[in-house]
Structure 1
Amino acid sequence: MSLGKRLTAEFFGTFWLVFGGCGSAVLAAAFPELGIGFAGVALAFGLTVVTMAYAVGHISGAHFNPAVTVGVAACGRLPAKDVIPYIIAQVIGGIAAGAVLYAIASGKPGFDAAASGFASNGYGEHSPGGYSMGAAIVAEFVLTAFFLIVICGSTHRLAPTGFAPLAIGLALTLIHLISIPVTNTSVNPARSTGVAVFQGGWALGQLWLFWVVPLIGGAVGGLIYRGLLEDKKP
């Protein structure tokens, strides 16, 4: 596929991930009577990846996440020259989704993105469970690294054909079930950026962590798979 088509696929895939995942948190989980809670938000994130991976995975590889793009490149599955264009498309898709979500959420009287947090990622006083910056770093690093191991393994040529989107979506669901209380779960800088720009306060101040740590975790996960797990036989 041409680079233009691949970037378009990454834009739409990231848009769907941020809109579906963060939308479930902003529009549904905020109302206890609807009953989706943390588990529902976790499932929503997983479902966004499953659906769009089947829809456009054959076009772009279905990264939808700068950390995944860096990790896949580290694993040797993406040319280095494509990394920055992929990341730009993903961030634009995330911000576009945040804008649409903000427009919808603003239709409810009294909505305040800054006060509500707008599904942003945070640590310390802005962690849902009050977890420290150190805990956030460990969680985001470990979970992103394992996410890349799952991605690289499930998309390997020897893996069962056609099941990679399910494995990846379920992995993202599990990641959210573990870490929503810690950081509201990032493992994806585009997801974090897409809502932080509309929260506009503390989320932007803490955004650095949700870029630096997932990118490092993604690279480490890709290198672990490439160096220790991948079958290099033809």
Structure 2
Amino acid sequence: MGHERKRIQLTDQMTTKDRIVLCLSELSGTAILVFLGCMGCVTAMSGGSIPHLTVCLTFGLAVMVSVQIFGHISGSHINPVVTVAAVTLGNIPVIQVPIYFAVTPDELMGNKWVTHPDGVYNKTIGVCSPAVSTSISATQGLLVEFIISFILGLVCCGVWDSKNSDKHDSVAIRFGFAIAVLAIAAVPEKEL
């Protein structure tokens, strides 16, 4: 009732400067996630112990900070699933997808820039290390990743739904807590 559905768009009217700003915004948002999230895990790398909830909240709050700073410029997608949801809902045109995907490797490789240079972090699953827990199989890990990614996509669709257009005052908080709860559910506590 009164809410128009957006259609998938193929192109846009952006200038080269606009595309550079979009790319830098998304890169900066991803860098904030990686820096804050991984720095929140540094104690575990130095032989200390970090509470599971602290690690999960750190990543969720890092997403919140990124969305608050860069959400109005690029949407601060940080994750390809968010980009796919944005295209599906017609929030961004398909032509912008390569910009978002081009900065995604920063999320995976950025931990090397802020963690111990000798690779100690690789020995601890869950500490800025994209590895499957030793307590589950690779297939189970893939299934968990698929499910939490699907839920993240649903969160995006719910937040961005045109029927929800008058409720955008807390988008950063919504995404931050969504990431935190997905991390709490999916990151194995005993591996931290």
- With normalisation by structure 2, the TM-score equals 0.77
Unpaired segments ≥5 residues, structure 2: 1-13
- With normalisation by structure 1, the TM-score equals 0.64
Describe the shift of the 1:58–1:67 C-alpha distance in structure 2 as closer, same or farther (beyond 3 A). Answer: same
Question: Quick one: percent identity of the two aligned structures?
Answer: 25
Name the residue aligned to 1:56: 70
Q: SS state of the match for residue 20, structure 1? A: helix
Tell me if the contact between 1:154 and 1:163 (Cα under 8 Å) persists in the aligned partners: no
Q: Identify, as 1 or 2, the structure richer in helix.
A: 1
Name the residue aligned to 1:198: none
Tell me if the contact between 2:45 and 2:124 (Cα under 8 Å) persists in the aligned partners: no
- Is 1:178 the counterpart of 2:185? The answer is yes
Q: Tell me the alpha carbon deviations over residues 98-139 of structure 1, each in whole angstroms, 9 at most, x when there is no partner.
A: 24213xx23xxx86344445631223xxx15x1112221221
Q: Tell me the alpha carbon deviations over residues 69-110 of structure 1, each in whole angstroms, 9 at most, x when there is no partner.
A: 123212322211111121102324653x324213xx23xxx8
- Is 1:121 the counterpart of 2:130? The answer is yes
RCO comparison, higher one (Cα < 8 Å, 6+): 2
Tell me if the contact between 2:59 and 2:179 (Cα under 8 Å) persists in the aligned partners: yes
Out of 20, 23, 26, the residue aligned to residue 10 of structure 1 is: 26
Name the residue aligned to 1:70: 84
Tell me if the contact between 1:24 and 1:41 (Cα under 8 Å) persists in the aligned partners: yes
Tell me if the contact between 2:25 and 2:70 (Cα under 8 Å) persists in the aligned partners: yes
Tell me if the contact between 2:108 and 2:130 (Cα under 8 Å) persists in the aligned partners: no
Name the residue aligned to 1:167: 174
The amino acid across from 2:59 in the alignment is F
Tell me if the contact between 2:85 and 2:156 (Cα under 8 Å) persists in the aligned partners: no
Describe the shift of the 1:167–1:84 C-alpha distance in structure 2 as closer, same or farther (beyond 3 A). Answer: same
Unpaired segments ≥5 residues, structure 1: 185-234
Aligned CA RMSD, in angstroms, stands at 2.5
Q: CA deviation at 1:175?
A: 0.3
The amino acid across from 2:95 in the alignment is K
Q: How far apart are the structure 2 equivalents of 1:48 and 1:131?
A: 27
Q: Tell me the alpha carbon deviations over residues 39-76 of structure 1, each in whole angstroms, 9 at most, x when there is no partner.
A: 11100110111111111100001101122112321232
The amino acid across from 2:52 in the alignment is F
